[in-house]
Amino acid sequence: MRQISVTEHLQLHQKNIPEATGRFTSLFNELILSAKIINRAVNKAGLVDVLGDTGETNIQGEHVQKLDEYANKILIHRLQRCGVLCAMSSEEQADLIQIPRNFPKGDYFLVFDPLDGSSNIEANVSIGTIFSIYRRKHGNLESVELHDVLQKGSEQVAAGYFLYGSSTVLIFTTGDGVHGFTLDPSVGEFLLSHPDIRVPEQGKLYSVNEAYWHYWDKKTQEAVAVFKDPNSDLGQLYSLRYIGSLVSDFHRNLLYGGIFMYPADFRDPKKPHGKLRLLCEAAPLAMLAEQAGGMATDGLNPILEIEPQELHQRTPLVIGSRKDVQKVQDIFAAE
């Protein structure tokens, strides 16, 4: 296959960002440089002291792993300087991240999960960086308020993730299909490896943490049980694949077909809507799933239609092959 770089591909596929070629590309290039730097640290995590816990907890009340913090710092440092953002939001930071006064600004708003699956870092399981890009709605560039940037997922201009695995891949969409690039370390470039990814209509895999069975409501138990029932009208047997790293579980299901579920559970009264975050996890993956011909709901409603009320809002997530997600939606919709 002819070697196509991300920059070249962006020139070809930017139906909904026609007016912003150079600016948008510079944003992507800074994301890519950040991912290369993070990837270098991830690959040698076992050798240098970037493993383990910082002993702090973040806005999510979770232990912050050193690589989480490192990835967060790299992304903020690099993206603050790209000249096309009005503000950012990171899973690791409570508030909006403003662009310093003396830095050039632009109309884009970036949301990211700097390192997803971080509980797996020390076990050498694939982890990733998830990003989501909006254009700000209104307001002035100098002091961006939450209401200037908070928008539902269907307003995303682009979304994607880097997956630091057996190879390092970048999967993204700008609203014109989903495309995958693999880092060729010999040239240090992400080259097109998965043009126009389509998720199979129905999968053979379901991904959910069944340990929470007794903390789910009846509908959720019914929705999960259907994938274990040999006599269900899904008409086939499924395997359970769950590695506890959302980007890895999502990526496998995107390519092979399947459904990932992180339902609401009653384990933690402070988190009645499940663990996953709408803005930095569910919405970007939902844009990818839908652009690839799949589907993404909170069980009943499309993820991309949820109007966010706050930065770190959580949502149940059911995402993947259309027929499988539709089956869950039918169960939730039934009286």
Q: Which residues bind ligand AHG (CB under 6 A)?
A: 62, 91, 113, 116-119, 209, 244-246, 275
Give counts: helices (H), strands (E), the chain: 8, 15
Q: Does 324 bind Mn ion (CB under 5 A)?
A: no
* Dist. CA 285–CA 278, nearest whole Å: 10
* Residue placing its CB nearer to ligand AHG in the complex, 185 or 244: 244
Q: Which does 244 bind (CB under 5 to 8 A by kind): ligand AHG, Mn ion, none?
A: ligand AHG
Angular region, 117: left φ>0, alpha ψ -120 to 50, beta rest: left
Burial of residue 238, with CB atoms counted within 10 A of its CB: 0-12 exposed, 13-18 middle, 19 or more buried? buried
Q: Count residues contacting Mn ion (CB under 5 A)? A: 4
Nearest residue to the partner ligand AHG, using Cβ: 246
Q: Minimum distance between the CB of residue 306 and ligand AHG, rounded to whole angstroms?
A: 18
Window of 4-12, 107-115, 194-202, 317-325 that interacts with Mn ion by CB under 5 A: 107-115
Sign of torsion over alpha carbons 205, 208, 213, 217: negative
* Residue placing its CB nearer to ligand AHG in the complex, 58 or 156: 58
Residue with tokens 């993820």: 303
Per-residue x/- marks for Mn ion, 69-98, CB under 5 A?
----------------------x-------
Q: Which does 207 bind (CB under 5 to 8 A by kind): Mn ion, ligand AHG, none?
A: none
Q: Does 113 bind Mn ion (CB under 5 A)?
A: yes
Q: Minimum distance between the CB of residue 62 and ligand AHG, rounded to whole angstroms?
A: 6
Written as one letter, the residue type at 284 is P
> For residue 259, which of 324, 328, 178 has the smallest C-alpha distance?
324
Which H, E and C letters describe 223-258, residue by residue?
HHHHHHCCCCCCCCCCEECCCCCHHHHHHHHHHHCC
* Residue placing its CB nearer to ligand AHG in the complex, 30 or 68: 68
Q: Does 116 bind Mn ion (CB under 5 A)?
A: yes
Q: Minimum distance between the CB of residue 20 and ligand AHG, rounded to whole angstroms?
A: 29
* Residue placing its CB nearer to ligand AHG in the complex, 60 or 154: 60
Window of 73-81, 112-120, 154-162, 190-198 that interacts with Mn ion by CB under 5 A: 112-120
Written as one letter, the residue type at 54 is T
Q: What does the block give as tokens for 269? A: 């009264």
> For residue 43, which of 162, 154, 130 has the smallest C-alpha distance?
162
